[in-house]
Structure 1
Amino acid sequence: MDVNLSIDEQEMWERRKQRLETLIGANPSQQQHDPARRSQNMDPLLYLAAKEGDVDKFIKALEDHCAREGVSLPVTLEQLSPSGNTLLHVVAGTDDILRALIDFVPDHLISRENSSGETPLHIAARAGKAGKAGAVELLFSRANPRVCDISRNSPLHEAVRNRHYDVIRQLTSKDPYLLFLVNREGKTPGGVAVETGDLNVLKLLLEVLLAVLPEVSPEVSPEAPVWSETGFVGITGLCVHHKMIKFLLDLDMLTEMWNKMPVLLLLIDEEKRNPLHLAAYTNYLDGVKFMIEKLPLSALKQDREGYLPIHVACEMDHVRIVEELQQLWPDPTEFRDGRGENILHVSVRYGCISTVRYILKSPQFAHLINARNIHFKTPLHLVTLHWQPSVLLLLARDGRVDLKMVDADNMTALDVAEEGIEEIDAPLRKRLTRIILASAGTPRSRELVIIERSSQSLKRKRKPPALDRLKEERDTRMLVATLVAGMTFASSIQVPGGYNSSDRDAGIAILLHKAMYNVFVMCNCIAMYSSIIALVILLWTQIDDPYVLQDALSKSRLTLLVALAAMLLAFMAGVYVSVTKLAWLAIVVLVLGSVALFIILSFYLLLYIPLGSKHPLVRRFTDLIIVVGISMSGSSRTANGDAGLSRIRAKSMPVGPLHELPPFRFG
Structure 2
Amino acid sequence: METAACLVSADQRASFLANKNGISPLYLAIEAGNVSLVNAMLNRSGNNVQSKNLTSELEGRKSLVHAALMAKSTDVLDVILSEDTDLLNERDEEGRTCLSVGASMGYYKGICKVLDRSTNSVYERDEDGSFPIHMAVEKGHEKVVREILKRCPDSVVLINKQGQNILHIAAKSGKAVSFLLGYIRRLYTKYHLINEQDVDGNTPLHLATINWRPRTVDSLTSFASTTTNILNIQNKDGLRPLDLAELNLQSDYYLRERLTLMVLLCVCAPRGVAWLPTSGMTLRSRSEHHLDANKYKDHINALLLVAALVATVTFAAGFTIPGGFNSSAPDMGMAVLAYDSTLFFFLVLDTLAMQSSVVAIVALIWALLGDPAIVHRAFHLALPSLFLALLSMSWAFVAALQATIKQNSVLINVISITSMVFYGLIIFLLAPYVIPQVPGFPFLQRLTRIYLILLLIFVNEDDSGRHYTSGSDNMCVKSVAESVGSSGADQVGKINDILNWFTKNIFLGVELPMGRSDVRYDGQKKYISSRMYLAHETDFLNLPTLFSDTGTTVPMSPKTIAAVRAGDEIYVRDMTIDVELALSSVNDHGNTMLHLAAAAGHTSLVCYILYAYPGLLMKSNLMGEVALHVAAGAGHLDVVEALVSYINDKITRAVAKKIYFAKNRNEDNALHVALKRKHVKVASCLVSAEQCLSFVPNKDGFSPLYLAIEAGQADLAKHMWKHSNNGSSSTYCLASKVGGRSIVHGAMKAKRKDLIAAILNEDASLINLRYEGRTCLSFGASIGYYEGVYYLLDKSIDSVYVSDDDGSFPIHMAAKYGHVKILKAILKRCPDALELLDIDGQNILHVAAKNGKAEVIKFILRCYKDKNKEKLINEEDVNGNTPLHLATKNWHPKVVSMLTWDNRVDLETLNHNGLTAIDVAEGNMDSSYTFFQRLTWMALISAGAPSGPNPIISTPVTDNPDGGKHKDRINTLLLVATLVATMTFTAGFTLPGGYNGSAPNLGMATLAKKTAFQVFLLFDTLAMYCSIVAVVALIWAHLGDISLIMKAFNLALPLLGFALISMSIAFMAGTHASISHLPFLAYFILGIGLFFLLALLLIIIPYVSPHYTTKLFLRHMFYCPYFLMLLAAGDNRNND
Q: Quick one: distance in 2 between partners of 1:596 and 1:124?
A: 63
* Residues 430 and 212 (structure 1), Cα distance of their counterparts in 2 relative to 1, 3 Å cut: farther
Q: Quick one: distance in 1 between partners of 2:725 and 2:888?
A: 53
Q: How does 1:621-636 map to 2 (within 5 A)?
A: 621-634=1117-1130, 636=1131
* Residues 362 and 633 (structure 1), Cα distance of their counterparts in 2 relative to 1, 3 Å cut: same
Match of 2:1081 among 581, 585, 591: 585
SS across alignment from 1:134? helix
Q: Check conservation: 1:541, 1:548, Cα contact below 8 A.
A: yes
Q: Check conservation: 1:438, 1:612, Cα contact below 8 A.
A: yes
Indicate yes or no: 2:935 matched with 1:429: no
Q: Quick one: distance in 2 between partners of 1:215 and 1:437?
A: 62
Match of 2:706 in 1: 191
Q: Quick one: distance in 2 between partners of 1:435 and 1:133?
A: 69
Indicate yes or no: 2:719 matched with 1:181: no
Gapped regions of structure 2 (runs ≥ 5)? 1-536, 538-552
Map Cα deviations across residues 373-406 of structure 1 (whole Å, 9 max, x no partner): 2223222222222222211222222222233332
Match of 2:851 in 1: 350
Indicate yes or no: 2:664 matched with 1:154: no
Match of 1:475 in 2: 971
Q: Quick one: distance in 2 between partners of 1:359 and 1:261?
A: 37
Amino acid at match of 1:62: V
Match of 1:533 among 1025, 1029, 1039: 1029
Q: How does 1:543-622 map to 2 (within 5 A)?
A: 543-601=1039-1097, 606=1102, 613-622=1109-1118
Q: CA deviation at 1:187?
A: 0.8
* Residues 286 and 207 (structure 1), Cα distance of their counterparts in 2 relative to 1, 3 Å cut: same
Match of 2:824 in 1: 323
SS across alignment from 1:43? helix
Amino acid at match of 1:550: M
Aligned residues: 569
Match of 2:809 in 1: 308
Q: Check conservation: 1:197, 1:246, Cα contact below 8 A.
A: no
Gapped regions of structure 1 (runs ≥ 5)? 1-19, 21-35, 51-56, 220-226, 453-457, 648-667
Q: Check conservation: 2:748, 2:785, Cα contact below 8 A.
A: no
Amino acid at match of 2:705: G
Q: CA deviation at 1:410?
A: 3.1
* Residues 124 and 628 (structure 1), Cα distance of their counterparts in 2 relative to 1, 3 Å cut: closer
Match of 1:440 in 2: 943
* Residues 218 and 115 (structure 1), Cα distance of their counterparts in 2 relative to 1, 3 Å cut: closer
Match of 2:755 in 1: 253
* Residues 464 and 267 (structure 1), Cα distance of their counterparts in 2 relative to 1, 3 Å cut: same
Q: Check conservation: 2:564, 2:597, Cα contact below 8 A.
A: no
Q: Check conservation: 1:121, 1:155, Cα contact below 8 A.
A: yes
Q: CA deviation at 1:323?
A: 1.5
Match of 1:101 among 576, 597, 609: 609
* Residues 139 and 316 (structure 1), Cα distance of their counterparts in 2 relative to 1, 3 Å cut: same
Q: Check conservation: 1:190, 1:238, Cα contact below 8 A.
A: no
TM-score if structure 2 supplies the norm length? 0.46
Q: Quick one: distance in 1 between partners of 2:779 and 2:887?
A: 25
Q: Quick one: distance in 2 between partners of 1:466 and 1:200?
A: 69
* Residues 380 and 498 (structure 1), Cα distance of their counterparts in 2 relative to 1, 3 Å cut: closer
Amino acid at match of 2:759: M
TM-score if structure 1 supplies the norm length? 0.75
* Residues 462 and 150 (structure 1), Cα distance of their counterparts in 2 relative to 1, 3 Å cut: closer
Q: Quick one: distance in 2 between partners of 1:270 and 1:524?
A: 65
Indicate yes or no: 2:138 matched with 1:138: no
Q: Check conservation: 2:684, 2:716, Cα contact below 8 A.
A: no
Q: Check conservation: 1:45, 1:61, Cα contact below 8 A.
A: no
Q: Quick one: distance in 2 between partners of 1:483 and 1:194?
A: 66
Q: CA deviation at 1:214?
A: 9.3
* Residues 501 and 82 (structure 1), Cα distance of their counterparts in 2 relative to 1, 3 Å cut: farther
Q: Check conservation: 1:179, 1:189, Cα contact below 8 A.
A: yes
* Residues 209 and 611 (structure 1), Cα distance of their counterparts in 2 relative to 1, 3 Å cut: farther
Amino acid at match of 1:257: I
* Superposition CA RMSD, Å: 3.8
Match of 1:46 in 2: 563
Q: Quick one: distance in 2 between partners of 1:270 and 1:574?
A: 67
Q: How does 1:271-290 map to 2 (within 5 A)?
A: 271=773, 273-290=774-791
Map Cα deviations across residues 270-314 of structure 1 (whole Å, 9 max, x no partner): 41x221112112222221121112232122211111111111111
Match of 1:650 in 2: none
Q: CA deviation at 1:358?
A: 1.6
Q: Check conservation: 1:396, 1:437, Cα contact below 8 A.
A: yes
Match of 1:25 in 2: none
Q: Check conservation: 2:602, 2:639, Cα contact below 8 A.
A: no
Match of 2:381 in 1: none
* Residues 358 and 463 (structure 1), Cα distance of their counterparts in 2 relative to 1, 3 Å cut: same
Q: CA deviation at 1:188?
A: 0.8
SS across alignment from 1:356? helix
Q: Quick one: distance in 1 between partners of 2:1106 and 2:991?
A: 39
Q: Quick one: distance in 1 between partners of 2:927 and 2:1054?
A: 17
Match of 1:114 in 2: 621
Amino acid at match of 1:383: A
Q: Check conservation: 2:1057, 2:1104, Cα contact below 8 A.
A: no
Comparing 464-473 and 499-508, the one that deviates more: 499-508
Q: CA deviation at 1:184?
A: 4.2
Match of 1:88 in 2: 594
Match of 2:876 in 1: 372
Indicate yes or no: 2:795 matched with 1:294: yes
Q: CA deviation at 1:204?
A: 1.7
Q: CA deviation at 1:513?
A: 5.5
Q: Check conservation: 1:344, 1:368, Cα contact below 8 A.
A: yes
Amino acid at match of 1:429: F
Match of 2:862 in 1: 361
Q: Quick one: distance in 1 between partners of 2:1005 and 2:763?
A: 95
* Residues 339 and 157 (structure 1), Cα distance of their counterparts in 2 relative to 1, 3 Å cut: same
Q: Check conservation: 1:384, 1:413, Cα contact below 8 A.
A: yes
Q: CA deviation at 1:123?
A: 2.6
Amino acid at match of 2:943: A
Q: CA deviation at 1:598?
A: 4.7
Q: Quick one: distance in 1 between partners of 2:811 and 2:1010?
A: 70
Amino acid at match of 1:167: C
Q: Quick one: distance in 1 between partners of 2:1002 and 2:725?
A: 108
Q: Quick one: distance in 2 between partners of 1:497 and 1:131?
A: 88
Indicate yes or no: 2:680 matched with 1:163: yes
Q: Quick one: distance in 2 between partners of 1:274 and 1:595?
A: 52
Q: Quick one: distance in 2 between partners of 1:352 and 1:465?
A: 37
Q: Quick one: distance in 2 between partners of 1:388 and 1:305?
A: 24
Q: How does 1:410-429 map to 2 (within 5 A)?
A: 410-421=914-925, 423-429=926-932
* Residues 139 and 543 (structure 1), Cα distance of their counterparts in 2 relative to 1, 3 Å cut: farther
* Residues 396 and 563 (structure 1), Cα distance of their counterparts in 2 relative to 1, 3 Å cut: closer
Q: Quick one: distance in 1 between partners of 2:808 and 2:993?
A: 75
SS across alignment from 1:549? helix
Indicate yes or no: 2:770 matched with 1:268: yes
Amino acid at match of 2:1072: Y
Map Cα deviations across residues 198-244 of structure 1 (whole Å, 9 max, x no partner): 1121112212454699986379xxxxxxx9xxx867x253438x634
* Residues 213 and 238 (structure 1), Cα distance of their counterparts in 2 relative to 1, 3 Å cut: farther
Map Cα deviations across residues 466-508 of structure 1 (whole Å, 9 max, x no partner): 8565222222212212322332344345443445667998765
Amino acid at match of 1:303: D
SS across alignment from 2:680? coil
* Residues 487 and 275 (structure 1), Cα distance of their counterparts in 2 relative to 1, 3 Å cut: same
Amino acid at match of 1:110: L
Map Cα deviations across residues 612-639 of structure 1 (whole Å, 9 max, x no partner): 54443233223334323423443x2x23
* Residues 209 and 543 (structure 1), Cα distance of their counterparts in 2 relative to 1, 3 Å cut: farther
Q: Quick one: distance in 1 between partners of 2:592 and 2:726?
A: 37
Q: CA deviation at 1:42?
A: 4.8
Q: CA deviation at 1:416?
A: 2.5
Q: Quick one: distance in 2 between partners of 1:597 and 1:63?
A: 83
